[in-house]
């Protein structure tokens, strides 16, 4: 169980990051009964495509405190790596997208739309509803998802098939 106010607080923090980075039309996308998503964009130069960059701001609950070497929501650097709940899944995806925008001086050669979901860790139950409700806003020519890992530190990776969730009920009968 978790406090949904913390998921909203996460969305607000991401909204502020996008605003600070200079994205336009930055807003929380809201649906009744859903955790907020965050949107921001950089319009495409004339004739250029628009790329949707997807990530999520929600994280798995931390579990028992005694299983952590440090407070789960307080980032700690150890041996040159950052540890904390959600630092890689998927706050790193948000940082990677913003880093790509910065690498282009805030004016990439394509249009960019960021869609930062708030329900990925619970199965994206409202993703279809967000796509329906915000269809025009979220329309893009391609989607890039930053929600995967590198095989090892210092070796970049490109995952080409990722999204999905399997849910099933297994019934076992014995004698």
Confirm if 37 and 116 have CB atoms less than 8 A apart: yes
Distance, CA of 36 to CA of 33 (rounded, Å): 9
Task: Tell me which range, 28-42, 91-105, 111-125, 140-154, is most confidently predicted by mean pLDDT.
Answer: 28-42
Partner residues linked to 161 by β-bridges? none
pTM (two decimals): 0.83
Q: What is the pLDDT of residues 35-87, one digit of tens each?
A: 999 999 999 999 999 999 999 988 888 888 888 888 888 889 998 888 888 77
* Token pair belonging to 10: 């996460």
* Residues annotated as part of the active site: 58, 120
Distance in Å from the first CA to the final CA of the chain: 36
Residue of 164 and 41 predicted with greater confidence: 41
Could you tell me which of 162, 121, 137 has the C-alpha nearest to residue 29?
Answer: 137
């Amino acid at each position: 169980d978790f406090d949904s106010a913390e998921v909203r607080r996460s969305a607000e923090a991401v909204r502020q990051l996008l605003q600070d980075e200079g994205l336009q039309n930055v807003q929380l996308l809201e649906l009744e009964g859903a955790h907020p998503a965050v949107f921001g964009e950089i319009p495409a130069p004339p004739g250029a495509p628009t790329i949707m960059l997807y990530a999520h701001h929600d994280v798995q609950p931390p579990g028992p405190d005694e299983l952590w070497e440090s407070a789960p929501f307080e980032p700690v650097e150890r041996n040159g790596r950052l540890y904390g709940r959600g630092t890689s899944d998927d706050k790193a995806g948000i940082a990677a997208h913003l880093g790509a925008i910065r690498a282009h001086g805030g004016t990439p050669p394509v249009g960019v739309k960021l869609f930062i979901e708030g329900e990925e860790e619970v199965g994206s139950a409202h993703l279809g509803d967000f796509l329906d409700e915000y269809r025009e806003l979220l329309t893009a020519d391609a989607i890039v998802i930053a929600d995967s890992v590198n095989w090892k530190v210092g070796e970049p990776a490109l995952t080409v098939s990722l999204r999905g969730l399997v849910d099933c009920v297994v019934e076992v009968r014995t004698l």
